[in-house]
Amino acid sequence: MNSIPEISTMVLLIAFVLANIADALTTIAGLRRGAIERNPLLGKKPTAAKIWAIKAVVIAIGAIAALPPRPAGASEIALFGICTAALLAISWRNHKMARG
């Protein structure tokens, strides 16, 4: 039977994945409209392939950290929540910048 922390971790992992996808999509849209990326890992004008590759690595690291066999603790659940909220805020800002 699943415990609350395991369910919370899975929900936040799904939100983390979706937030990373939203961040990648809004970043690519912004770059197509002339924006400049500020993340030093990506460079100022990264390709869509580079953005997706880095996001895939970030998602994989998150999944490895969150999925069983090791149950997640409260600090990991909080970290996923904070990271997801930050990514959603960045995606929203990118969306607003891309729209004008």
Q: What is the pLDDT of residue 69?
A: 67
**Spatial separation of the C-alpha atoms in residues 97 and 99, rounded to whole Å:** 5
Full DSSP string of the chain: ---HHHHHHHHHHHHHHHHHHHHHHHHHHHHHTT-----TTT-SS--HHHHHHHHHHHHHHHHHHHSTTSPP-HHHHHHHHHHHHHHHHHHHHHHHHHH-
User: Which tokens sit at 97?
Assistant: 């910048």
Q: pLDDT 10s digit of each residue in the chain, 100 long? A: 455 556 677 787 888 899 889 889 988 988 898 888 887 878 888 999 999 999 899 888 888 777 766 656 777 777 777 887 888 787 777 766 655 5
Q: What is the pLDDT of residue 49?
A: 94
Q: What is the pLDDT of residue 62?
A: 80
The pTM for the full model equals: 0.71
Residue carrying the six token digits 């969150």: 66
